[in-house]
Structure 1
Amino acid sequence: MSIDGVSGRTSYIGTTILNLRNQLNDLTTQLATGKVSTTYAGQGLDRGFALSLRAQISGINAFSDTATNLNTRLSVANLTLQGLSDVGTQVKNAATTATLTLNDSGQTSGQITAQAAFANAVAMLNSQSGDRYLFSGRAMDTPATVSADTMLKGTATQAGLSQLINERKQADQGAGMMGRLSVSSPPATTTVTSIAEDGSPFGLKLLSVQSSLTGGATVTQPTGTPKTSSVDLGAVNPKDGDKIKFNFTLPDGTTEAIELTATTTNPPPAGSFLIGADTAATTANLQSTLTSSIKTLSDTSLVAASAVAASNNFFNPVATVSGAAVNNQNTPPAPISGATALSGAAGTDSLSTSFAAGDTITVNGTPITFVTSGATGNQVNVTDSVQTLMAKIDQISGTKNPSTISNGAITLHGADGESLSISSSNTAALGALGIANNTTAAPAPLRVGGPPFDTATNLVAGTPGNTVYWYTGENGPGSARGTAVAQVDQSITVQYGARANEQAFRYLLQNVAVYAAVTTNASNPNASAQVTALAQRVSANLAPQNGQQQIQDVQAEFAGAQTATKAATDRQTQLKGMAETMLDSVEGVNQDEVATKILALQTSLQASYQTTSMLYQTTLLKYLPIS
């Protein structure tokens, strides 16, 4: 029989000591880490709950980081918006208060202010937050615009705003400085003064005629395409002080009037025409004074309006479809015109291939249907003219630049910033209009078709090769805000994108730029009037415009994004606090309780050691009698 030695492996007391020591080690670790266990297995049945709490806290931290970055970007964007708003105010004040004194470059002090403000505005629109351009839409790694200098002056091969303004000025004034109008007396009479447009999109456009002329005078209001108007003095001269007013629409949409007063004073004062011996002599005087007044208007307000229109064409791209020059089927054939019929027999002024009832022309997805007669809505009669069809196309496209036809070539324009597409079920008839089927055009800056510019007949689309495209950011579909989206909560996203070509920014740029770009010849006797007319338009345009996006509208949208972000962050802070408290109840320990347990275990372990030591010292010899 063998007797095993007493050891920790076989002794119940030794096993107990080892258990106590392990408990002590665990409690010591808990005291040091503050955690129930350093492994999920040691957390027991609550480990799944702990994992979900940790995932929730991690998600909240990620949203917090997103909110921090978002608030930084919004803060930079808001600084830019406020700066742009200040630029508008600064230039508006400069246009209102600047003197009319021209420097060596032909500009006033207000225009010099505008130059610096324009450069500042362009720099702000190219603002970055980190490595992200804030006003480039989805093209976050691309500047929003070309430089201010490039916009105004262009490059070696590309025309900038200044060149487009000069070309447009020539086109609007016309070869005879008459604003593309003609004043004449029909051959059959000498008492009629006729005033007519030339059919181009340029120059002064007849709006109305108001008359207080007595005697036998009759006035014919502007009518027809192109418009004409006439004044027939009849057989009886007007009286001294009688007036007649010609109202015109200018290229920028503003209106001006020429009011002439009949007078017996010789020489007649400014704005008056001399009453002659008879109505024929008076008519000659009226025509002479009207012609002189139109030339003055053409060299004052028209110059300013022309520059504003050119700036709008540069900054506000429009899709353009330019048709080929085609002839009608007259004998002999001649270039089609606005009066050319959409259908007709050979030998008449009609398209070489006629449209028929049931045919359609589709413009941007909206069909125009041809009917035999009684056209309504999006219908045209097959007997209508090309001019009627172009007007219907303009109505559907929503363009602000009416379609034109010159020398047999049609030019169609789309709405601001929108593409233009046109197709037809009758391909041959559409081709007879000079337009290929399924033609699509993208927005581009408009410029005068030329040279020569003073006899130009239409606006054409500039190309990247010959015209500066000022906006270089992303210009895809959808809203500008939707180009940058941040998720700040499980079910909350915030949109904070922006594009520099949004209406509010573009409108500011085009008005500051035109004021900065125009130069005036100081030796021109109308120089002061030109500068005044420009300053008045810039000041008026920089005032808040009804129904138009304002910079304050964008600021409000960004403020809404910041408010939503703050609300989400505040809510997440509370949720994170509660989750951390619950997680601590699962994973954490009570330090005082652990310390108490350690002390108790140390006492028990010490007692166990002493007991075990006494037992190990016990031998059989201690129980044998002493002999």
Structure 2
Amino acid sequence: MTIAPFAAGSAAADLNTRRLVAMKASLGTLSNQLSSGRTADTYGGLGAGRTQSLGARAQISALDGFIAAAGTGANRVALATASVQQVATLGSAAASGLVGAQAASGAGARPTLQQSAAGQLGGVLDALNQSNGSLYILGGRVTDRPPVETASRILDGDAETGLDGVKAVIAERQSADLGTGTAKTGRLDLSAAGAAVSLSESADAGVRENFGFTLGSVVSSNPAGLSVALTAATPSTATLSFASQPRDGDIVRVTVRNADGSQGFVDLTARAAGTSGDDTFAIGSDAGDSARNLTAALAGKTFAGKAVVGAQSASPPGAAAALSGGTPASATVTVGAGLKAGDSVQVTLGLRDGTSKTLSLKAGDGSQSGSFAIGATDAATAANLSAALAGALDSTARTDLAASSATRAASDFFAGSSSPGLSPRRVATDAAGNAAGYLADPSGRTVIWYKGDDTSVDPRRTATVPVSRDQSVAIGVQANEAAFRATLSGLAVLATTSFGTTEADTPRFTAYSARVQAQLRPGDGQPSVQGIASELSLASAQIATQKTQNTATKSMLEKTVDGVETVSTEETAAKLLSLQNQLQASYQATSMLAKLSLTNYL
């Protein structure tokens, strides 16, 4: 038997060498893993695990973005919620003040309501101008400036620029509603001739569709003594027109009379032919064709019991609504021989806010309020009835009608917008200076109180927080939302109206109080500030829930990454020790074989 000596370069030696080099490399790798705690320094060193690691890290990066956005969004929602709650608190405090001052025991507090309301109005405006230090959060998409004007400009206007505030708008509207005579008849015509007393709405369609009282029913308790002839009104017809061809994006605000006598607005935007959408009308071949398209677009809406009574826009395009036809309601009460003490006549008047008021006049000696004296002749009795009716109209005009007028004017002021043609409605006068309708283009006359974004259909969508790949939470708020406008309108009316402590002023205070409370505390189904707060609370909960879920998912992914990219110190140390022993044994065996000779073998 021949023993071949160890010779470097033989196949066996090469294989052995490669094994030793591999073991040495593994030893180095395990040493690095033990010192760094990581599987490898590069993704290539992870082997098949690199795909899992890269995918998990990509998801973690996305989740970090969502978690950061949720934190920022949560802070914004918290600030917005605090502002909204402040508005709700101030509005509720004003409403409670009205309730407390309603009772005779609280009449002494009435003179302080105006000053309190001015302070509350300022507080609401401050809350609506809330910012997080860099962004104003209640202006929709417009975040670089305060969304609302100051209280002084809103109330008193700007003398330097000649723009009126809400105080001037209210005074103008009340003058238009009450009339200019010493005895305020609410724009109704009252006359007496012989034994007959006549009451009629204005012959001017612009007046009877917009201002003062409407004449409803007239009922006599004794037709033999007080006969009534009532002629119901027939509605006027509005013809819409443009002074020039509208351009794409021009907005027309159409005033609509509702079935209850109140008024509302419908805003329609001009769009190029072939372009459709909600609240739009097509631009026609000329101004007349566009006006017909506008009329058709209005007819396509739910208009049961409603009628167009006005329109406004910027100029151009100069939208207008010409009222024609129709007849005023009128009533004639004739005194007859059968009249006796205690007989009465009841006149029901409609107001422009959808409410009504019934005047009751009773025959007697005329010594009590709401009564008229039976005279020596039918003509004398009719004169007394006319005087009593004039007094009742004047009293109601200065109370209920004035309150209705003020709240409607304030609502119109806060419905104004910086969009061309959507300035607050302003009264138009005839050659004699009497109110005859509304201006077709009220631009440049009134302070625009809101300077934020008013182009979004859904204020919440003006700001969103991405909380996952497929989900975002809407957190936007606009200071000109209907609920905020109602609160501002109520506070503005109180801040511009003074009240006395006397019993004589109680009917006027009651009329104002009822209408302002309806604005500060809207009924069921109406937009409310608390409703906005609830929506923000739901958004906050959504953000918090998704943030928690994202954090948990991130933790799981981090464990996955750790499982691929990190090593167990104990396991690595054991492998390293085992490999060191193997390598040492291999070195010893190789050394022995390298020294092997026949002499040594023998």
| TM bin (shorter chain) | 0.7 to 0.9
Secondary structure, counterpart of 1:84 in structure 2: helix
Pick one of 22, 30, 34 that aligns with 2:37: 34
What is the TM-score when the length of structure 2 is the normalising length? 0.73
Pick one of 166, 172, 185 that aligns with 2:171: 166
Aligned residue number for residue 546 of structure 2: 568
Aligned residue number for residue 300 of structure 1: 399
Quick check: 2:456–2:462 contact (8 Å CA) kept in 1?
Answer: no
Measured in 2, the distance between the counterparts of 1:454 and 1:35 equals: 89
Aligned residue number for residue 403 of structure 1: none
What is the TM-score when the length of structure 1 is the normalising length? 0.70
Q: Are residue 233 (structure 1) and residue 340 (structure 2) matched? A: no
Aligned residue number for residue 212 of structure 2: 203
Pick one of 474, 498, 501 that aligns with 2:477: 498
Instruction: Give the CA deviation at 1:259.
Output: 1.4
Give me the identity figure in percent. Answer: 32
Instruction: Give the CA deviation at 1:164.
Output: 0.9
User: Which residue identity lines up with residue 372 of structure 2 in the other structure?
Assistant: F
Aligned residue number for residue 179 of structure 1: 186
TM-aligned CA distance change 1:222 to 1:112, over 3 Å? farther
Measured in 1, the distance between the counterparts of 2:504 and 2:404 equals: 15
Secondary structure, counterpart of 2:48 in structure 1: helix
Instruction: Give the CA deviation at 1:161.
Output: 0.4
Quick check: 1:301–1:530 contact (8 Å CA) kept in 2?
Answer: yes
User: Which residue identity lines up with residue 367 of structure 2 in the other structure?
Assistant: P
Pick one of 559, 562, 568 that aligns with 2:537: 559
Instruction: Give the CA deviation at 1:12.
Output: 8.3
TM-aligned CA distance change 1:531 to 1:232, over 3 Å? closer
Secondary structure, counterpart of 1:56 in structure 2: helix
Aligned residue number for residue 243 of structure 2: none
Secondary structure, counterpart of 1:129 in structure 2: coil
Measured in 2, the distance between the counterparts of 1:143 and 1:451 equals: 39
Measured in 1, the distance between the counterparts of 2:523 and 2:338 equals: 46
Aligned residue number for residue 93 of structure 1: 96
Pick one of 489, 494, 514 that aligns with 1:536: 514
Instruction: Give the CA deviation at 1:126.
Output: 1.5
TM-aligned CA distance change 1:500 to 1:244, over 3 Å? same
Measured in 2, the distance between the counterparts of 1:591 and 1:222 equals: 101
Q: Are residue 111 (structure 1) and residue 114 (structure 2) matched? A: yes
Measured in 1, the distance between the counterparts of 2:584 and 2:498 equals: 102
Write the deviation string for residues 498-543 of structure 1: whole angstroms up to 9, x where unpaired.
21111111111111111112246x7999655434432232123322
Pick one of 273, 294, 297 that aligns with 2:372: 273
User: Which residue identity lines up with residue 303 of structure 1 in the other structure?
Assistant: A
Measured in 1, the distance between the counterparts of 2:199 and 2:132 equals: 58
Write the deviation string for residues 279-333 of structure 1: whole angstroms up to 9, x where unpaired.
2221111011111222222223322222112101111239xxxxxxxxxxxxxxx
Instruction: Give the CA deviation at 1:250.
Output: 2.7
Write the deviation string for residues 381-400 of structure 1: whole angstroms up to 9, x where unpaired.
xxxxxxxxxxxxxxxxxxxx
Measured in 2, the distance between the counterparts of 1:471 and 1:461 equals: 21
Quick check: 2:425–2:442 contact (8 Å CA) kept in 1?
Answer: no
TM-aligned CA distance change 1:455 to 1:525, over 3 Å? farther
Alignment of 1:511-550 (within 5 A): 511-519=490-498, 527=505, 529-550=507-528
Quick check: 2:342–2:362 contact (8 Å CA) kept in 1?
Answer: yes
Pick one of 232, 242, 247 that aligns with 2:348: 247
Alignment of 1:128-139 (within 5 A): 128-139=131-142
Measured in 1, the distance between the counterparts of 2:445 and 2:108 equals: 34
Quick check: 1:446–1:459 contact (8 Å CA) kept in 2?
Answer: yes
Pick one of 182, 194, 198 that aligns with 1:194: 198
User: Which residue identity lines up with residue 356 of structure 2 in the other structure?
Assistant: T
Measured in 2, the distance between the counterparts of 1:486 and 1:254 equals: 44
Select the structure that is richer in helix. 2
Write the deviation string for residues 212-264 of structure 1: whole angstroms up to 9, x where unpaired.
1352432133523453332333531421011112222234333223211100x
TM-aligned CA distance change 1:109 to 1:32, over 3 Å? farther
Aligned residue number for residue 556 of structure 2: 578
Quick check: 1:168–1:453 contact (8 Å CA) kept in 2?
Answer: no
Measured in 2, the distance between the counterparts of 1:537 and 1:5 equals: 109
Secondary structure, counterpart of 2:435 in structure 1: coil
Aligned residue number for residue 215 of structure 1: 224
Write the deviation string for residues 427-465 of structure 1: whole angstroms up to 9, x where unpaired.
xxxxxxxxxxxxxx7422112224989711112267553
Measured in 1, the distance between the counterparts of 2:231 and 2:534 equals: 46
Q: Structure 1, unaligned stretches of length 5 or more?
A: 319-416, 420-440
Secondary structure, counterpart of 2:439 in structure 1: strand
Quick check: 1:214–1:239 contact (8 Å CA) kept in 2?
Answer: no
Secondary structure, counterpart of 1:458 in structure 2: strand
TM-aligned CA distance change 1:146 to 1:563, over 3 Å? same
Quick check: 2:39–2:566 contact (8 Å CA) kept in 1?
Answer: yes
Q: Structure 2, unaligned stretches of length 5 or more?
A: 1-6, 234-325
Aligned residue number for residue 282 of structure 1: 381
TM-aligned CA distance change 1:118 to 1:298, over 3 Å? same
Secondary structure, counterpart of 1:518 in structure 2: coil
Quick check: 1:314–1:447 contact (8 Å CA) kept in 2?
Answer: no
TM-aligned CA distance change 1:453 to 1:574, over 3 Å? farther
Secondary structure, counterpart of 1:489 in structure 2: coil
Aligned residue number for residue 87 of structure 2: 84
Measured in 1, the distance between the counterparts of 2:503 and 2:191 equals: 26
Write the deviation string for residues 45-66 of structure 1: whole angstroms up to 9, x where unpaired.
2211221111112111211111
Instruction: Give the CA deviation at 1:594.
Output: 0.5
Measured in 1, the distance between the counterparts of 2:493 and 2:546 equals: 44
Measured in 1, the distance between the counterparts of 2:85 and 2:431 equals: 43
Aligned residue number for residue 295 of structure 2: none
Q: Are residue 592 (structure 1) and residue 570 (structure 2) matched? A: yes
User: Which residue identity lines up with residue 194 of structure 1 in the other structure?
Assistant: S
Q: RMSD across aligned C-alpha pairs, in angstroms?
A: 3.4
Measured in 1, the distance between the counterparts of 2:29 and 2:69 equals: 39
Which structure has the higher relative contact order (CA within 8 Å, separation 6+)?
Answer: 2
Aligned residue number for residue 363 of structure 1: none
Measured in 1, the distance between the counterparts of 2:588 and 2:496 equals: 102
Instruction: Give the CA deviation at 1:278.
Output: 2.6
Secondary structure, counterpart of 1:589 in structure 2: coil
